[in-house]
Amino acid sequence: MLQTLKIENVALIDSATLEFDKNLNVISGETGAGKSIMLDSLGFVFGGRADRSLIREGASSMKVEAIFNSLSKNHIEFIKRELDVDSVDELFISRTLDVTGKNVCKINGELVPVAVVKKICSRIIDIHGQSEHLAILNNDYQLEIIDLFSNVAEDIKLKLSGEIEKYKQIEKEINLLGGSEKEKQNLIDLYTFQINEIESLNIKENEYEELLNEKREMQQFEKINLNLASALDSLTKSNFSDSCIDNLNNASKSLQNISELNPNYQNLFERLNSAYIELNDLSDTIKDYLNNNTFDEARFNYVDERIDTIKSAFRKYGGDYENLMKYYEETQKKLDNLINSEEKRVELNKVQNDVLEKIDSLQDKLSEVRKLSAKKLSVSMQKELTSLGMKNARLEVEFSRIPEKFSYSGIDRAEFMFSSNLGFQLKPLNKVVSGGEMSRVMLAYKIVVGEVDTNETIIFDEVDTGLSGQIASVVAEYLARLSRKKQVIAVSHLPQICAMADNNIKVEKFSTSNTTKTRATILNGNELYSEIARLMGATNNETGIRASVELKQKSEIYKQTLK
């Protein structure tokens, strides 16, 4: 549930901290006092639109923080997956917006994109305002409600989605077989040319790298020869009488003469003699390199041209040898498919028709499930609407088919049909429902789908629009019922709803010497009775207070029946 909301520098609020109860929380106050600011703040911290105009006059930024605790096991697992963390005890969300438009979101102290905040909060919080009034009038949303009310529709849609993906993949394979005979022949010619071109190039693995190394060495021919000659001179020539090798040989002979006198001298002789043999062999090898190291201009030109040819092929067919061969193999398959296209087309068409039959079957099954779900929904909604004072109200679902062959959400189009008066025909909900009726329709919907809805907290903005008298009392009771299953936060002008609350928050505007501010106060005792009296239209006198006390006591008695 939402435990705490902290607001800083939002519109008229410089600083406010709200603590919420796990059941029914009601926010009340004069029109224009700033109740909507509270809801704007909630929407902002939960990932809604960032509006810089909400930043308090004179402030450089605004900040809203929300703390959730007592989260369900399913929501904890979902949050852990989204945040990629091992454990979640509570959910602490903060969001800051400055005058430059910089937006910073954090969850449990870690920076996250606003989309992540929005995704997580959409599972936990349901903010119901005028926008949802409009949403329920939308046919797609009505279909979602029906699916939500069914316990099998989502599983069927998941299977349907898998079959549609199969169908589309087969469609791609069929398209690769070519269209008309002319188009098919053009593709055969193209693939044949590309295969022949790659085969004629006969490029070997690592050939390109080896040729680059050979070219690099040929380009350094003079440098290599000069250094080889210099190394040979150092070994075989000297400015004095003997070369390096000759001097090494003489030193070896000298040590040989005394090698028998001491084992150490014998060791020195053997080491020096080995060095003499090794240097002699090195000298002969360098001579061979020099004698055989000739610059072949024809070979150089071939290597240069071959490198350009391979580079061009790589550019054309994938970028390197591995991608070239991959392209070659795929093109061979495509060519084979085209050459044997009729046989393959017949085979693929058969598979595709089988998949289409499965799609049709799943869509028909989904339609049947939806019709059963819609009947249950209609009965449940009608029962709740009757309790809400609309005893003649009828809500039924009319189904029609979409023109497409199939879709991920099935072939159904749903239309909520509604009549609130006896003897009047059912008509589309969006054509006949009034503002007050719409509030009750939405409240009935929330009660009906509350068991299957995953949200733990529901926020109602102006739930009492168009309501008064006995119906207001019924709505208050409904909110109390709903709040025993979910946390409810409601903005209201009705004394019946205010009296039914487990936690009352009053929003009021006041002026200081040079500015205007909004504050939020938790109401108890006389302050609460005074607020209920104000909402009843009674003056703050003994009679008004007594009436508010009676209303509060009556509400508490009703809530006792819910436990």
Q: Do 230 and 144 fall into the same domain?
A: no
Using CA atoms, how far residue 291 sits from 234, 243, 287, 350, 354, in Å, is 17, 21, 6, 72, 75
Which comes out higher in pLDDT, residue 35 or 95? 95
Q: Do 202 and 310 fall into the same domain?
A: yes
Q: What percent of the chain has pLDDT over 70?
A: 92
Provide DSSP, 355-404.
Answer: HHHHHHHHHHHHHHHHHHHHHHHHHHHHHHHHHTT-TT-EEEEEEEE-SS
Give the CATH number, domain containing residue 39. Answer: 3.40.50.300
Residue 512 lies in a domain: yes
What integer pLDDT is reported at residue 363 of this predicted model? 94
- Round to whole Å and give the CA distance between 72 and 278: 81
Backbone angles phi, psi at 394, to 5 degrees: -130, 135
Q: Do 259 and 171 fall into the same domain?
A: no
Which comes out higher in pLDDT, residue 181 or 309? 309
Apex 370 CA angle, 368 and 373, nearest 5: 115
Average pLDDT, the chain: 85
Q: Do 54 and 73 fall into the same domain?
A: yes
Number of structural domains the chain divides into:
3
Residue 464 lies in a domain: yes
The answer to whether residue 55 scores a pLDDT higher than 80 is: yes
Residue 187 lies in a domain: no
Q: Do 387 and 483 fall into the same domain?
A: no
pLDDT confidence of 503, banded at 50, 70, 90? very high
**Residue 258, domain extent:** 194-336
CB 45 within 8 Å of CB 88? no
Q: Do 331 and 348 fall into the same domain?
A: no
* Nearest of 334, 313, 335 to residue 322 by alpha carbon: 313
Of 303, 336, 369, the residue at which a domain comes to its end is: 336
What integer pLDDT is reported at residue 40 of this predicted model? 84
Residue 180 lies in a domain: no
What mean pLDDT comes out for the span 271-294? Answer: 83
Q: Do 423 and 556 fall into the same domain?
A: no
Q: Do 353 and 466 fall into the same domain?
A: no
139-144 long-range contacts (CB < 8 A, ≥24 apart) are: 139/413, 139/414, 139/415, 140/409, 142/397, 142/414, 142/415, 142/416, 143/370, 143/409, 143/412, 143/413, 143/414
pLDDT digits (tens, 9 = 90+) for 303-342: 899 999 999 999 999 889 999 999 999 999 888 877 777 7
Helix (H) or strand (E) holding 508: strand 503-511
DSSP tag of 511:
E
Of 285, 303, 336, the residue at which a domain comes to its end is: 336
What integer pLDDT is reported at residue 500 of this predicted model? 94
- Round to whole Å and give the CA distance between 7 and 17: 6
What integer pLDDT is reported at residue 505 of this predicted model? 92
Residue 448 lies in a domain: no
Q: Do 211 and 331 fall into the same domain?
A: yes
Q: In this structure, what token pair is assigned to residue 173?
A: 């394979």
pLDDT digits (tens, 9 = 90+) for 458-490: 888 766 666 667 778 888 888 898 888 889 998
Of 336, 362, 393, the residue at which a domain comes to its end is: 336
Q: Which amino acid is at 373?
A: S
Residue 123 lies in a domain: yes
Q: Do 376 and 413 fall into the same domain?
A: yes
- Round to whole Å and give the CA distance between 25 and 6: 16
Q: Do 36 and 114 fall into the same domain?
A: yes
Residue 189 lies in a domain: no
- Round to whole Å and give the CA distance between 147 and 32: 39
Q: Token match 């960032």: residue?
A: 50
Residue 440 lies in a domain: no
Q: Do 274 and 319 fall into the same domain?
A: yes
